[in-house]
A and B are shown apart, each in its own frame.
Chain A
Amino acid sequence: MSSVPASAFLALALILFCIGLYGALTKRNTVIVLISIELMLNAVNINLVTFSKYGVSPSINGQVFALFAMAVAAAEAAVGLAILMALYRNKKTVHIDEMNEMKH
């Protein structure tokens, strides 16, 4: 059938997810944090599409779920960026460690 095993695709998705997780937890610029979250969602989409082909019962459902996840991710990016714009207008910063009004 295929010369690339399913675990190779899953390992690639795992590596991309870990890169996104590290970036989201350590980067200081909020835009980069948002785009790291997009990378994590993308890695999960790879898993969905992999199991839609190499899973126990292959079907088109995995690809449809990946499309739904992409729609939700696009909405999340738009709303996240709008929140960032509103925050920047009020606080003049995009650094995520300075957005701490709810602490005090």
Chain B
Amino acid sequence: MTFSGEFFAFMALALVAIIGGVLLLNLNKVVHMVVALIFTFVSIAGIYILLSAEFVAAVQVLIYSGAITIIMLFGIMLTKPYDESEATTGKWRKILVFLGVLGFAFAVYLGIYHLDIQQVPTTLHEDNTLQIGKALYSKYIIPFEFVSVLLLVALIGAIILAKREDKEGDKE
């Protein structure tokens, strides 16, 4: 492994991403957890750029560090924000979950450690957005349309679920 600029960029981005995740697990206030996760999302966008996926990186910044973080902050602020007491019971459960996750990580790591795929030159970095657009509108046109239907269903469903039911007397 040579120490090139790409290597250092990857290490820095990976470090920031993991630190954001660890802060998510360890901070006390709920708002701080969400803000810590913004670091993770932005560094994942940087990782996408390293993998020559510029369009996905832009979408990552817009959707995750923008939209989803803001909607989660709204969710925290519309519910009761200042009750951050941790459950007193469940110490054993946490330890068991931690061991289980550790075992899972070890099992998957055994699978990916010796992974050695011959690297082939790609043209993904040339006109990345153009390639994605061509694929979306030719090969993936049916799933693309289904995603639009899915977003419409999610929009209507979210509005109906979150609508205030203050006219309960009229419904009866």
| B109 and A3 contact, CB distance less than 8 A | no
Does chain B have a CB within 8 A of A35? yes
| B119 and A26 contact, CB distance less than 8 A | no
| A84 and B14 contact, CB distance less than 8 A | no
Which of A10, A23, A53, A63 gathers the greatest number of chain B CB atoms within 10 Å?
A63
| A31 and B75 contact, CB distance less than 8 A | yes
| A29 and B30 contact, CB distance less than 8 A | yes
| B108 and A14 contact, CB distance less than 8 A | yes
| A49 and B48 contact, CB distance less than 8 A | yes
| A2 and B119 contact, CB distance less than 8 A | yes
| A82 and B157 contact, CB distance less than 8 A | yes
- Consensus secondary structure, chain A interface: helix
Residues of chain B lying within 8 A (CB to CB) of residue A89: 164-165
Residues of chain A lying within 8 A (CB to CB) of residue B22: 19
Contact-residue size bin, chain A (C-beta under 8 Å from the other chain): 35 or more
- A53: which of B4, B90, B112, B122 is its contact (CB, 8 Å)? B122
- Consensus secondary structure, chain B interface: helix
| B80 and A94 contact, CB distance less than 8 A | yes
* Closest B residue, CB atoms, query A4: B10
**In the bound complex, CA of A69 to CA of B86 (Å):** 32
* Interface of B toward A, CB cutoff 8 Å: 1-4, 6-7, 10, 14, 17-18, 21-22, 24-25, 30, 33-34, 37, 40-41, 44, 47-48, 50-53, 55-56, 59-60, 63-64, 67-68, 71-72, 74-76, 78-80, 83-84, 86-87, 90, 93-94, 97-98, 101-102, 104-105, 108-109, 112-113, 115-117, 119-122, 124, 128, 131-132, 135-136, 139-140, 143, 147, 150-151, 153-155, 157-159, 161-162, 164-165
10 A-B pairs closest in CB distance: A75-B154, A19-B21, A82-B161, A82-B158, A82-B162, A85-B162, A3-B4, A58-B122, A10-B112, A1-B119
